[in-house]
Amino acid sequence: MIFNKASNKPGEHPSVTIAPVTVPHYLESTYWWAYTHPNAVRVFERQWLVNLILWGNFSRLRDLALQEMGDVINDDVLQVACVYGNFTEHLVRRLGPQGHLNVIDVAPVQITNLHDKLGHQKQVTVLQQDSSALTFDDASHDTVVVFFLLHEQPADVRRKTIAEALRVTKPGGKIVFVDYHKPRAINPFRYIMVPILTTLEPFAMDLWNGQIADWLPSDCQNLRLDKQTYFGGLYQKVVITR
């Protein structure tokens, strides 16, 4: 596992240009309690807790995302942002002999936490990068997965993150998004989640009231997009084929 650097040698896995990275102000000011403070990791890095936060749906949503990559992954995969719980561990287990995983996160404490969870993995590279300004080459990954990140970002940052995910995906490759979604009117969680999200996840309501397709770059509007919703519409999986 490598911190903040990746090889540019011919024939090796996706290259990256190293640039200074700072934690965005919106993340520090809004999510310090959940992501950027060391105590946040100590509290939230519990599998049972992340499952509870998702009302028992973590494993199902994790597996739905991973199924898009197949049982054995022999491609170059990018995971945009670290994830509490065992998402990355399960992804790593699917890597075949030719598979490689890059994981990026803008918060150093999250990178350290992932390193502690995974230990040394020769097929995994962990880099500090901003999801809205990736330094990977164009078309450098076969699959990009964005698991419960978009709801944590202001709309302008979300738009850039989606554009960057599309940019670094190879033609014919997939971008897999899993995140919150506005539930159906008959779903009681539609009303339970509003005070929770407005208090703790202020950018999530913006995602609720729109569609991931709304934030696609203008030159990507005609890409194939498959959307599925789960748990009465509270969660969504959107797969875009590049």
Model confidence over 153-202: pLDDT tens digits?
Answer: 999 999 999 999 999 999 999 999 999 999 999 999 999 999 999 999 99
The answer to whether 176 touches 68, Cβ cutoff 8 Å, is: yes
Q: Give the mean pLDDT of 52-70.
A: 98
Distance in angstroms (rounded) separating the CA atoms of residues 145 and 59: 16
Strands 235-241 and 76-80: unpaired
The answer to whether 64 touches 229, Cβ cutoff 8 Å, is: no
Residues 6+ apart with CB under 8 A from 14: 6, 76, 78, 100, 102, 136, 137, 140, 141, 168
| pLDDT at res. 120 | 87
Report the chain's C-alpha Rg in angstroms: 17
Residue 1 scores a pLDDT above 50? no
Distance in angstroms (rounded) separating the CA atoms of residues 123 and 96: 9
The answer to whether 109 touches 38, Cβ cutoff 8 Å, is: yes
- The tens digit of pLDDT for each residue in 10-41 reads 456 665 555 568 999 999 999 999 999 999 99
Q: What does the CA dihedral 4, 10, 12, 13 come to, rounded to 10 degrees?
A: 60
- The tens digit of pLDDT for each residue in 91-140 reads 999 999 999 999 999 999 999 999 999 988 999 999 999 999 999 999 99
| pLDDT at res. 2 | 43
Residue 8 scores a pLDDT above 80? no
Distance in angstroms (rounded) separating the CA atoms of residues 28 and 152: 12
| pLDDT at res. 21 | 87
**pLDDT above 90: percentage of residues in the chain:** 90
pTM: 0.92
Residue 142 burial (CB < 10 Å; 0-12/13-18/19+)? buried
- The per-residue pLDDT of the chain, averaged, comes to 93
